[in-house]
Structure 1
C-alpha cells in the first residue's frame, strides 16, 4: 500500500484546547502532519486520509520534548474557527480600537 505524508503549518492567535487532551495550548505556530493512503483499483489516483497529527512542542520543564497529538480534521477546523472568531471579536472591541492617549 502506498502512503504519503504532507506537512503544513497552522497559526493560533489565542490559547486553545483540543477534545480528548487536558489543558490549554498556547497561541503560536503548530505543524500539522497528514498521512494518507493510495486507494487501489480506481481508474484515477485518489488518497484517503488515515491520520492527522498536531505537533506540540514542550515548554517549561518539558522543553525539548515534542509530542504528536492525533486529532481529527474536524476538531482541527473547529479549533481554528473558534480562534478566528475570538480574534475577530478582540479586534473589534473598544479596547482594541481605542488609540492610546499620549500626555506631554
Structure 2
C-alpha cells in the first residue's frame, strides 16, 4: 500500500481554537501536513486521508518548542470559515 504526504499552509487573521488544541492560538500562518493512503482494489488511483496535522506555533514564531497536533479536517475548515476565509480544502 502506498502512502503520500502533502504540506500546505493556512493563515488565520484572528486568534482561533480547535478541539484538538486546548488553548487559543494566535493569528498567523500555520503549517498543515496531510497523510493519505492508497485505496487498493479500484480501477483508478485514489487516496483516503489518514491524518491531518497542524504545527504550532505559527511559522513566523522563532525559537521555542514546536508541537504537532492531529486535528479534525472539518474542525480546521470551520475555524477558517469563522475567521472569514473562503472555504478551502486542507
Find the structure with the greater CA-based Rg.
Answer: 1
How many residues are paired up?
A: 81
Do residues 65 (structure 1) and 56 (structure 2) align?
no
Task: Output the CA distance in 1 between the equivalents of 2:15 and 2:31.
Answer: 16
- Aligned CA RMSD, in angstroms, stands at 1.5
Q: Which has the higher strand share?
A: 2
Q: TM-score, normalised by structure 2?
A: 0.84
RCO comparison, higher one (Cα < 8 Å, 6+): 2
Offset at 1:4?
0.2
Offset at 1:37?
0.0
The gaps in structure 2 that reach 5 residues or longer are: 86-90
1:48 counterpart residue number: 48
The gaps in structure 1 that reach 5 residues or longer are: 86-104
Q: Which has the higher helix share?
A: 1
2:34 counterpart residue number: 34
Partner-residue secondary structure (3-state), 1:75: helix
Partner-residue secondary structure (3-state), 1:77: helix
Q: TM-score, normalised by structure 1?
A: 0.73
